Amino acid sequence: MAGSSHGHGHTPAAWTGSIIVFIGFCVSGAYMVMDNPVGFWLGMVLLPVGGVVGWIMRGMGLGQPKSNSQPLRMMQSVTTAKAVSPKATREPVAAES
């Protein structure tokens, strides 16, 4: 999966939005454990703020550019396209004593 992303999410807009949402979850979780409802809801406010900041940054040109082309498709390699018997590719294993 490492080579199939084609840069998806590797933009300043995506990173900034994700970091703000992560901080919001951390703040909400900490204040929930400390039994402080005001702090919990302040952390929850950060969740949509992260999405809005990412959306604004994308509008400023810091996000993934829109592509008019079709998504790339994976091609079958020649070795996987052939019908190969599983017994033909297995090697015998010696029993250890």
> Tens place of pLDDT for every residue, the chain, 97 residues?
455 555 667 888 899 999 999 999 999 999 999 999 999 999 999 999 999 999 999 988 888 877 655 555 666 665 555 555 555 566 666 777 6
The pTM of the whole model exceeds 0.75: no
Residue 28 lies in a domain: yes
Asked if 40 and 62 count as a contact pair (C-beta separation under 8 A), the reply is no
d(CA 72, CA 2): 15
Note down the domain range covering 41.
Answer: 9-60
Work out the number of other CB atoms within 10 angstroms of the CB of residue 24: 19
Residue 70 domain flag: no
Contact 64, 8 (CB under 8 A): yes
Strand, coil or helix: what is 4?
Answer: coil
pLDDT at 90: 61
pLDDT at 68 (0 to 100): 59
21 belongs to a structural domain: yes
